[in-house]
């Protein structure tokens, strides 16, 4: 009987706390200068860093999970959404879902509608450092940044790295732990390091 009472109490507390905390997190995100659409569900506070003169927009009905609650494999850290330079832009469409992971733009990252991103994935339009220049490897820069575009209806698995200059076409699926170094056409499955197309989703191999 006691176990049942404790279980019911926990369910009631979660039912009250999660919607309230989601609203609070949403207002904190907006206070940082992010344009956040309606109906967002936010579990745990993401790390938001908006460089002066840059912009971050997230569409309606986003689900942002910065805690391991609701994600079967958990997250390594809160979601990071960060612009790194003036003029940089991150624009995310409606019905976006992400658990943990990071989106970092020195130039431009665009994500379409109905995009789902698995736990701990990283999307970046910059290399952050240039390891090919001895003596200058510790310096950061944005000169080599290239736009990233992820089109509508894309599914990206856990622990994926999407590199600068990549376009992932509408309806594509990226397998877990892939490193996407080149653009992926629409309606296909790509996996591996580097990611390669292994299947067309219309049944054509």
Q: Which two tokens stand for residue 122?
A: 């990283």
User: Left, alpha or beta for 103 (phi > 0: left; psi -120 to 50: alpha)?
Assistant: beta
Which class for 121: exposed (0-12), middle (13-18), buried (19 or more C-beta within 10 A)? buried
Which entry of 30, 69, 129, 182 is annotated as an active-site residue?
129
Q: Which of 83, 79, 49 is nearest to 66 (CA)?
A: 79
DSSP sequence for 65-123 = E-SSTT-TT--SS--EEEE-STT-EEEE-SS-EEES-EEEESSEEEE-SS-EE-TT-EE
Annotation says 86 is catalytic: no
Catalytic residue ranges: 129
């Amino acid at each position: 009987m006691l176990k049942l009472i404790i279980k019911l109490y926990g369910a009631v507390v979660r039912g009250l706390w999660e919607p309230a905390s989601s609203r609070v997190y949403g207002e904190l995100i907006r206070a940082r200068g992010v344009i956040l659409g309606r109906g967002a569900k936010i579990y745990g506070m993401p790390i938001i860093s908006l460089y002066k003169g840059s912009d971050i927009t997230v569409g309606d009905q986003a689900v942002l999970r910065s805690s391991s609650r609701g994600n079967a494999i958990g997250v390594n850290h809160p979601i990071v959404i960060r612009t790194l330079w003036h003029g940089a832009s991150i624009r995310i469409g409606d019905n976006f879902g992400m658990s943990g992971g990071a989106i970092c733009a020195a130039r431009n990252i665009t994500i379409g509608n109905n995009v789902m991103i698995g736990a701990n994935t990283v999307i970046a339009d910059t290399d952050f450092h240039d390891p090919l220049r001895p003596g200058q490897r510790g310096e950061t820069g944005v000169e080599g940044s290239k736009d990233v575009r992820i089109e509508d209806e894309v599914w990206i698995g856990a622990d994926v790295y999407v590199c600068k200059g990549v376009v992932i076409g509408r309806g594509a699926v990226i397998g877990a732990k892939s490193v996407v170094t080149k653009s992926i056409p629409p309606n296909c499955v790509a996996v591996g390091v580097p990611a390669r197309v292994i299947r067309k989703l219309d049944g054509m191999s």
